[in-house]
Every structure is written in C-alpha cells, then in structure tokens.
Structure 1
Amino acid sequence: MQAEAPPPAGALASNLLAFVRLLRRAGLRLGTADAIEATRALTLLDIGSRRQVQAGLRAILVRRHDQQEVFDQAFALFWRDPEAARHAAAMALMDGIKDKSRPPPASRRVAEALQGDRPPAPKKSDEPPPMLDVAMTVSDRERLMQMDFEAMGAEEIAAAKQEIRKLHLPLDERPTRRFHPHAAGARVDLRATLRDSMRTGGEILGLSRKRRVKRPPPLVVLCDISGSMARYAQILLHFLHAVENDRDRVSTFLFGTRLSNVTRALKNRDPEVAFEMVSHLVPDWSGGTRIGESIATFNHDWGRRVLGQGAVVLLITDGLDRQGAAGLAEAAARLQRSCRRLIWLNPLLRWEGFQPKSQGARALLPHVHEHRPVHNLNALRDLVASLSSPPPRRSSR
C-alpha cells in the first residue's frame, strides 16, 4: 500500500494560503477547510503543469458558475510575476475616470482584492492638504443606488446585496372568489345566518354578513441567465430570493438555452445554500439565449399551473436572442393573454438613446404591458413601487 504524499511546505504552502485569502476578499466564500483541501490537492497534481494545477484548484475552490471568471483572473494575476499584480491594482484606482477602456467586472474585483494587501502609501508632510470641491458630491449610499450592477466591485456588490434584502414587495391586492365572515360585509351570508338560527330554535334574530377576500396575485419571474445577462442575473437572484422568502405564491424560472424551475431551491432561507442548489439545477449559466423557445416551453408546461388568479409576470432579459427571435412574438402574445400584467425588465434601458433594433426586442415590445430598466438599485425600488400600486389602465383598441 502506497503511503500518502506529504503536504507541500515552505513557500508553496504560504503562497497557496495567500491565494485563498485573495479569493475570499474577491467575494468567494472560502474557509480553512477549503485551504486544507487545496493543499492536499497539490500533493496529487503535477506541480510543473500550470493547466493541471489551475483545473484542480478550480474544482475545489469554485462552487458556482459566476465565480469561475473571478478565479481565473485571480489565478492568472497571483501566480505570475508581481508586476502584473501591481498593474491590476493600479486599474482599481481608476474608478473616477470614466472611459471606454474600463476593465471587466471580474478583473476589477480581483484588482481591489490585490489592492487590499498593499499598505497605504505614507503621506509627505511638506505637501499641502488636497483641496476638495464638495459642491456636486453625493453620499456613498446615493452613489451605490445609482451605480450600474455591471460596474460594481466586490465591496459594492456586497453592499448592494444588503440593500436588496431590505426591499419589501407588497403586491397590489386583488379581490378573489372567496368570502370570509365580516360584521360590516356587503353581502348577507345565508348559510351562516341559518346556522346561527339553530341556537334559537330556528328564529332568525340577526343577519350574518361576509366580505370578499383580497389577496396579492401570484408573481411569476422569468429571468435570462445568458452570457450578456450573467452579472445582472447574479445580483437579481438575491432580490428574487428575498421575495420568495417574504411572500407566498412566487414562482421563479431561469432560462438560457433551456428553461429551469428554481422555485423550491430559492425557498431555502440561507442564500448561500439556495444559490448552490440553483447552480446544480441550472446547466446553461452564461451560455446562449433562446428566449422564444424558453417562453414557449413555459406556456406549454407551466402556464396553467402558475398563471391563475391574475398573475403578474416579470420577464428579465435584454432581448438578444441567438435564434433571431424565432417564435418569440407568438410565445410572448400567448404569455400576455395568460396573465394580468406582463412587465419586461431590460438592463439595456440604462442607455438614454436605447432603440429596440434587435429582432428579439422588436418581437417582444408589442406584447408587454410595461417596459422598465433593471440595472441598479433605484430601478429595483421603482419596480417595487410600481408593483405595489394598481396597474395602469390600457387603452382599448
């Protein structure tokens, strides 16, 4: 029987622990057990093969699809020459410069994590204090509320998730077919009146009344998780998790190239456990998009189950369909007829000059009741306010 290889020691083990701490600062939830498993994995891998080491550490330290890009960026920067890390850290300091060559979000998160390792530069005593013009500045909270989800770093994403957990979604209550006893009800409850008269020998001394029960309508969410929507879907899942645990009759579906029902997974109170269950249920995260086929599948398999009693449907997508909007108009028209309110949440509406030029956008737009942005926290607050009020009246054709 072959003895187990001893764990790596010296500089390699120290660098591995530093790499795990870097990933933790970049947003990955890792602990001591993960660092120990990664150390043991190095004893089974060929240290001379960079590709093999990267694949082995990724299999241990990455739990969700959206973490792969962060891991790859961190691995490329950490296990290379230190000059690359310094350049990446310098990129994180350019938040105030708004140019078109902004680094990808994953690179910014890793760069901010690398910047946390560096001690602050000492201030020279002979330099005068900087002059700050605070005439047009806003608070950090206001800046966070207006920041695009795609431009957020690791700390800003964590703060945004905390704000999302505070959102409360009281949908506009609608009357149902059921009644409940009420002293000031508008209708007379004949059955209850006759039942009460049995206590007095059949003599009716008073009329029992009832009132119609009012309940919020069911909420159905269809969220696009394709490559162009991956960052927005990652943050919006926290909003959907908070909604699912705050109210009943909420159904959540994710779609890329296929439709996945994640309603039961998001019912878990622990968000990390819920998202890990979602990652196992969804095989096509950050892949292609088949909006028309996914909506048609929903109409056929789930429409009659979840769209009763005047349901409200949130369709979260940018309208970019890989199949060129084949069958999208027919599927969207049927979905509109099956619900009371169809709201299209489009992150591309953050641009003032947005035009529905893609085939998917042109096919969707005529069949939705509302078209709203969903790119920052202010857009989410406006959505909550809109859902809590009666829907706008549509003009009859």
Structure 2
Amino acid sequence: MLPGVDRAAFAASLAARLRRRGVPVGLTGVDDFLRAIDVAQPRTLPELYWTARITLVRRHSEIALFDEAFAEIFEATGPALDPHARRRPLARKNGADDAFAPLPDARAGGDDAGGLPWTTLPAVVAGAEDSDGPARVPELSPSDVEALGDVPFEQLDERECELLGGWLEEAAASWPTRRSRRFRVSWKGRGIAVRATLTRSRRTGWEPFRLAGKEPVVRPRRVVMLCDVSQSMRAQASAYLHLMRALTMTVDAEVFAFGTTLTRLTPVLASRSAAAAVELATERVTDRFGGTRIATNVRALLSSHHGAKVRGAIVLVGSDGWDGDPPEELGAAMARLSRRAHQVIWMNPRAAAPGFEPRVASMAAALPYCDLMLPAHTFGSLRDVIGAVAGSRFRW
C-alpha cells in the first residue's frame, strides 16, 4: 500500500494533521500505528484506514475528524470508507472531555486571523465586554512557564517554546569540567612548580625555602549535539533547536542538525534573539522534514574537520532512532563516536511512553554504545537532560 514511502514520516505527518483538527494523538499512538502497519501489512485503502483508525482514535467523537483528515490525504472528496463512522457523533459534555477550544478569531476564518489556532483549556480568549476585539494572550508568570515544562512539544506554540528556551538557558549555568594540559600555581597542588619556586627564591638569596605547588587548569567540557530534523521528528525539532541555542549561549558547544545531510548551526544559533536564531536555523537546514540517515551523518561528522571537537566532549543525540541506513552501519558509526567522545547521551522523545522498549532495529544497534538514553518529549525532560549532563563526573 505504501511502497517506497518512509513509514515513520507518514505516521508523523498523519498524526500532525490529526492534531491540527483537534484529535490528541500522542507518541504512543504513533508507535502503535507503525507496529500495526508492520503486522497487518495493509494492501488496500480500507485496510490502511482501519489500521490507522484503531490505533490513533480513542473517542467516538473524534471519528469524524479522523475521516476528514484521512480524506484530505487519499481522496479529493470525502471518502465513503466507513458509513457507520459518518453517523453524528455523541454530543460533547462540558468538562474534562473538551481537550481543545478554538479562539474566536480562528473560528472566524480567513488568513488574517491572529492569535493561536488552538489553546488548551482554560481558553485564552477575549472577555465578554470586548468580544469584538482581538484575542489577548496574557503574560506568563515564572510558575506558569515552569508548568509548561510538562506539556508535550506538539501542544506548544512558538511563543511558549521561546519562553521555555530561556528557562533552559538558566538550567545550563552549571556544567561539567575537564582537566586541561595547562597548570597553574597553587599551594595546594601536589606537583612542584619549578619556575615559580625559582622566582620566589630570588628574595632569599636563591635558597628555595618554600616550594610552589601546581595543579591542572580545569575548563568546561565541550558538548556536541546532533538534532534529528526529519519528518518523524517534526513535533520536536523546534524545541530541540531551543535546547541547542541554550547550549550555544552558555557553554562551549557545537550543534548540528541532520536529516539526509549534516548542517552546522553553531554560528546561526549564537544570535541574541531566540526567535531570530531559530528562524535562521530553520532556513539553513534545507533537508528538514524529509528522510533520516543517522549513520551517514555520524560518519560525516567524524570524518570532517569538526570531528576533532568530538574528542573528549559530551555528545547529545536527539532522535527517535528511525533510520534509513542499515542497523549495522549505525552500530559501527556509534562505536567510533563512543570511542572518541567522553560520554554519549541519546535523547529519544518516545522513551517516555509506558512500557517503551528499543525494538526499532537501528535504535537497538546504537544503544550499546550510549552511556544514557533519556526521554526528551517535554521541556521539563530536556531540563532533566541538562541536569544529567551537569552531574557527569571526571573520566581522565
């Protein structure tokens, strides 16, 4: 049914289209859909329809929205795939079942409608006394920003992502260190600083009454981040860019984005404006929301002149592990990366799902060469990643 189609990209695109229509599709549903495709192997459009509907739809009231989204992809007009699903859905009750509420300006239609297209309840709308005016989005307090840290990426808008990006910069203030080859004079040092000892002996007739000690100079450890911007990571790409900018602004960092090719984003994300930096980075990556070749891009990084910066660094890989390259190639590339780096941490947004296991062949091949695999589906989990990196110990 889907020959030559990246199934991960197709599942992510369908889930994103459903979310825009108000169907709350989580990462677990996308994983269930992909596994169902592998098991059922749908060969006709009705079979694919039922495979997607069973795994992605949770409520009867969402069936009509699912049918409309499915029809947009495969048919010019509304499909008659399931006449029973065309029945009028049950009336929604006022309460917790209403997961999303449209803004007044968005319901009015047109391209000039301002504000957010959807907002989580309680809805942020204009008051009754000024219902004719535009919708107002209030300023968020620090406690509200912290509460947004537990909201999945796909439910956040650009403004909220920018606020949480600054929240990440505060978390990256402390960072692990490494011992450099340089030394400095220190009376607590175990070694003897010969030059400093002789200099001080000039005051005592060249008799070294006091020996000057020395200790190694400690510097912040470099971090290298690789961010997957393929179609299957579309919901997380913008948030990961904010993490990359936070690292660039606070520590010695080298950041790269990859889909089918590798793109260096370090100078682009160094801009003081978060919005401008993310916009420039988005324009720089020409192969975003396409296929994924993790093994090819890891080899490209290690073979380039930037590969020397990986030596002794903490490497962060943000990806769901769906790779178009053979698993054995990814395993070999990750083995080289692990030998050169100080620590390799894999950030998988799907690792937060209950009962998650790395069953994808490429993820299973890369996992033995990772020191940690952490969930990275919310800004709160990204902050936990920074905390895990900050807690790294010396490894001489």
Partners of 1:258 and 1:359 in 2: CA distance: 21
The amino acid across from 2:388 in the alignment is: S
Aligned to 1:347: 349
- The answer to whether the 8 A contact 1:169-1:384 is kept is no
Partners of 2:94 and 2:194 in 1: CA distance: 73
Q: What secondary structure is seen at the aligned counterpart in 2 of 1:97? A: coil
Q: Structure 1 residues 259 and 196, CA, compared in 2 at 3 Å: closer, same or farther?
A: same
- The answer to whether the 8 A contact 1:256-1:287 is kept is yes
Q: What secondary structure is seen at the aligned counterpart in 2 of 1:275? A: helix
Aligned to 1:357: 359
Aligned to 1:272: 275
Aligned to 2:3: none
CA shift for structure 1 position 292? 0.8
Aligned to 2:14: none
Aligned to 1:167: 171
Partners of 1:272 and 1:180 in 2: CA distance: 41
Aligned to 2:323: 321
Aligned to 2:97: 97
Q: What secondary structure is seen at the aligned counterpart in 2 of 1:176? A: strand
CA shift for structure 1 position 300? 0.9
1:51-66 correspondence runs (5 A)? none
Q: Which moved more, 1:344-353 or 1:294-303?
A: 294-303
Aligned to 1:131: none
- The answer to whether the 8 A contact 1:169-1:388 is kept is no
The amino acid across from 1:244 in the alignment is: T
Partners of 2:350 and 2:360 in 1: CA distance: 12
Partners of 2:167 and 2:387 in 1: CA distance: 15
**2:192 aligned to 176, 188, 192, which one?**
188
CA shift for structure 1 position 312? 0.6
**2:254 aligned to 251, 256, 277, which one?**
251
Aligned to 1:284: 287
**2:215 aligned to 200, 211, 216, which one?**
211
Aligned to 1:235: 239
Partners of 1:326 and 1:110 in 2: CA distance: 44
Partners of 1:329 and 1:110 in 2: CA distance: 42
Partners of 2:195 and 2:158 in 1: CA distance: 61
The amino acid across from 1:240 in the alignment is: M
CA RMSD of aligned residues (A): 3.6
The amino acid across from 2:185 in the alignment is: P
- The answer to whether the 8 A contact 2:238-2:278 is kept is no
> Is residue 220 of structure 1 aligned with residue 248 of structure 2?
no
1:43-82 correspondence runs (5 A)? none
- The answer to whether the 8 A contact 1:324-1:360 is kept is yes
Partners of 2:227 and 2:150 in 1: CA distance: 22
Q: Structure 1 residues 239 and 151, CA, compared in 2 at 3 Å: closer, same or farther?
A: same
TM-score (norm 2): 0.62
Gaps of at least 5 residues in structure 2 are 1-68, 73-92, 108-114, 131-142
Aligned to 2:378: 376
CA shift for structure 1 position 245? 1.1
Gaps of at least 5 residues in structure 1 are 1-72, 77-92, 123-138
Partners of 1:263 and 1:178 in 2: CA distance: 27
Q: Structure 1 residues 367 and 195, CA, compared in 2 at 3 Å: closer, same or farther?
A: same
Partners of 2:184 and 2:260 in 1: CA distance: 45
Q: What secondary structure is seen at the aligned counterpart in 2 of 1:387? A: helix
Partners of 2:284 and 2:146 in 1: CA distance: 36
- The answer to whether the 8 A contact 1:109-1:154 is kept is no
Instruction: State, as a whole percentage, how many aligned pairs show the same letter.
Output: 30
CA shift for structure 1 position 306? 0.3
CA shift for structure 1 position 270? 2.0
CA shift for structure 1 position 112? 4.3
Cα deviation per residue 1:74-122 (whole Å; 9 max; x = unaligned)?
xx9xxxxxxxxxxxxxxxx9994388x999xx99942449x87766499
The amino acid across from 1:381 in the alignment is: R
Cα deviation per residue 1:319-374 (whole Å; 9 max; x = unaligned)?
01123436111101110111110000000012012122222111111111111011
The amino acid across from 1:338 in the alignment is: R
> Is residue 110 of structure 1 aligned with residue 114 of structure 2?
no
Q: Structure 1 residues 228 and 391, CA, compared in 2 at 3 Å: closer, same or farther?
A: farther
Q: Structure 1 residues 293 and 198, CA, compared in 2 at 3 Å: closer, same or farther?
A: same
CA shift for structure 1 position 277? 3.0
Partners of 2:145 and 2:264 in 1: CA distance: 34
